[in-house]
């Protein structure tokens, strides 16, 4: 698989409008992977990629790990003081 094939697949699967959007999505994913993977594993991934994808992998910088920790707050929800019933399979 080359870069164009990857971006086309990401564009189609994610329902994006352009290869530029797909490129942005791939860059974010690679940045996150380079942040959370141990350096040894990231190097193995890089070494296993075809040449053009490897070049793309090299230019993406890892995110500072504190950014990912701050972003977790967005997914944890906010304390509002309200209590809501937790949906269940039968009472969704």
Q: What is the pTM of this model?
A: 0.68
- Count the domains in the chain: 1
Torsional sign, CA 54, 59, 65, 70: negative
Domain span at 57 = 3-74
Q: Specify if 86 maps to a domain.
A: no
Q: Specify if 92 maps to a domain.
A: no
d(CA 92, CA 88): 5
Q: Specify if 39 maps to a domain.
A: yes
d(CA 23, CA 6): 9
Q: Specify if 18 maps to a domain.
A: yes
d(CA 92, CA 11): 32
pLDDT in tens, the chain (92 residues): 999 999 999 999 999 999 999 999 999 999 999 998 999 999 999 999 999 999 999 999 988 766 655 555 455 555 555 555 554 444 44
Q: Specify if 82 maps to a domain.
A: no
């Amino acid at each position: 698989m080359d870069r164009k094939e990857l971006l086309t697949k990401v564009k189609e699967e994610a329902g994006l409008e352009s290869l530029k959007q797909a490129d942005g999505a791939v860059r974010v994913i690679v940045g996150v992977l380079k942040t959370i993977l141990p350096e040894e594993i990231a190097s193995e991934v890089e070494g296993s990629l075809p040449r053009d994808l490897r070049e793309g992998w090299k230019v993406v910088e890892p995110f500072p790990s504190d950014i990912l920790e701050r972003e977790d707050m967005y997914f944890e929800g906010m304390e509002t003081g309200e209590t809501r019933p937790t949906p269940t399979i039968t009472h969704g």
